[in-house]
Amino acid sequence: MADAGGATVAFLWLYIVYCNVFKIAALLFSVASIVASETKDFAFHAGNPISQPATAKDLRYLLYDVNPPEGFNLRRDVYIRMASLVKTLRKEGDWVLVLPPWGRLYHWQSPDIHQVRIPWGEFFSVTSLQANVPVIEYEEFIAESGGPFVDQVLVLQHYAEGWSDGTWEEKVDERPCIERLMYSKDKQGYYRGWFWGYEETRAINVTCLSAQGHASVLAPFMQSNITATSVMLDRAETVLHDHYAGKDYWDTRRSMVFAKHLRIIGDDFRAKYLNSTDEKDHTDYKEDWRLIKAKLGSAKGGPYLSVHLRRKDFIWGHREDVPSLKGAVKKIRSLMKKHVLDKVFVATDADEEELAKLKRMLPEMVRFEPTWEDLDLLKDGGVAIIDQWICAHARYFIGTSVSTFSFRIHEEREILGFDPKTTYNRFCGDSEKECEQPTHWKIVY
């Protein structure tokens, strides 16, 4: 089937080389001033000890990490919770969110590819994130805060006793650690741990914190009981969204703009193989997410059906709500007929064996299949984003039940202004005659 296109990849090489040169220059000449001049007033940014010596001593850093087995798209959701917490913290004090490098994800199994210590800039537009809340990459944190040290790690956990007398209440308490601590003391008395693959990073203190409630339930404790400059929350997925699908949720979600090089590759692929361009499809995009406010139903989408077919761990448990390949293909054909679409783009994590079977049953399917060289540059995370971007631009989308990968596509389509009927669809299991369809979450601007 289709490859990513040699010219695009050559362009990408230049782009990444350019980015790396830029990154080094930025570190040498002070990150903030360059970012500021590049983005003018587009982004506000973290305080900077060089340009703002008066506030430097008050600057505090929030770092976080997520339970190792969690995948890319749940991690994107946890980012939204932490951004919300930082907004709350910033009501009292100059807090900055440090972006946890990507790596060692269970699903990122492509062999021979270096997939740790990946900065957010490889997947997302960091200036777009900064227009929502001050964020910095981890390496900027090291450079800015004086070295690879985290003052205080708080490992979040639930309450050992569960909900006391069955009533839910929001609370936070320092408690002994329930699970085995994933940090150990070295000879110098510092704590060593995973720290996103940065072996030289050490924590000065690690304690456990039982927390129950929304992300911002942590704010009073962090403001009053902790004096450390840099505070890392481990197991950050333990806390809930402050207000799921509210204005603040959507501000943060809209700011999570995919990195430009990934969007360009996705757009080139759409044009080349799917006869799809923003102009024809009414999916115009603006670099500044704050200017995007598409009316529901205004996006038409490219002349293809898009499908997210989640397999692997979703079928190992023989879940009732996930179809067999045969069931999925039957549904795909009926949707193509109903919507008069002769092309189908398939995003899937199916293994080799299932993929071969799917190709036999659905020979006309179009997939984004990177070469090894492409993959080496884009990484599994970049390929997943390109798949999501192409799915997001189709005239009609159908995803897999309770997959966060599919949920993120719903949101992307909501931002682009698709009619909800073309977005909030999922495959039913073979034994389900009808099944409950995903919820429509409307953007609050």
Ligand X SMILES: *[C@@H]1O[C@H](CO)[C@@H](O)[C@H](O)[C@H]1NC(C)=O
Ligand Y SMILES: Nc1nc2c(ncn2[C@@H]2O[C@H](COP(=O)(O)OP(=O)(O)O)[C@@H](O)[C@H]2O)c(=O)[nH]1
Chain residues that interact with ligand X, rule: CB under 6 A: 172-174, 205, 207, 221, 224-226, 275, 280
Binding to ligand Y (CB under 6 A) within 392-411 occurs at 403-405
Candidates 53-61, 67-75, 82-90, 229-237 — which segment interacts with ligand Y by CB under 6 A? Answer: 67-75
Shortest spacing between CB 242 and ligand Y, in angstroms = 22
Per DSSP bridges, beta strands 230-234 and 60-64 are parallel
Active site residue: 70, 137, 237, 411, which one?
Answer: 70
Nearer CB in complex with ligand Y: 139/380: 380
Among 43, 48, 71, 427, binds ligand Y (CB under 6 A): 71
The alpha carbon torsion through 289, 294, 296, 299 (nearest 10 deg) reads -100
Only one residue has tokens 């329930």, namely: 178
At 309, give phi and psi (nearest 5°).
-110, 95
Q: Are residues 270 and 304 in contact, defined by beta-carbon separation less than 8 angstroms?
A: no
Shortest spacing between CB 17 and ligand Y, in angstroms = 25
Residue 101 partner contact from Mg ion, ligand Y, ligand X, none using kind-dependent CB cut-offs of 5 to 8 Å: none
Angle CA(69)–CA(70)–CA(74) in degrees, nearest 5? 175
Residue 328 partner contact from ligand X, ligand Y, Mg ion, none using kind-dependent CB cut-offs of 5 to 8 Å: none
When CB distances to ligand Y are compared, the closest residue is: 71
Taking CA atoms, 409 is separated from 144, 241, 380, in Å, by 35, 19, 17
Count of positions (residues) in the chain = 445
Q: Is 412 near ligand Y (CB under 6 A)?
A: no
- Please name the residues in contact with 156: beta carbons below 8 A apart, sequence gap of 6 or more: 208, 209, 210, 211, 233, 234, 235, 236, 238, 239
Only one residue has tokens 């200036």, namely: 127
Binding to ligand Y (CB under 6 A) within 13-32 occurs at none
Among 107, 290, 330, 359, binds ligand Y (CB under 6 A): 107
Among 237, 242, 251, 349, binds ligand Y (CB under 6 A): 349
Residue 387 partner contact from ligand X, ligand Y, Mg ion, none using kind-dependent CB cut-offs of 5 to 8 Å: ligand Y
- Please name the residues in contact with 76: beta carbons below 8 A apart, sequence gap of 6 or more: 256, 404, 408
CA distance 42 to 33: 13
Annotation says 38 is catalytic:
no
Token pair for residue 328?
A: 């999925």
Nearer CB in complex with ligand Y: 173/369: 369
Which three-class secondary structure state does DSSP give residue 49?
Answer: coil
Nearer CB in complex with ligand X: 196/304: 304
Q: Which residues would be at the binding site for ligand Y (CB under 6 A)?
A: 71-74, 107-108, 308, 310, 347-349, 380, 383-384, 387, 403-405
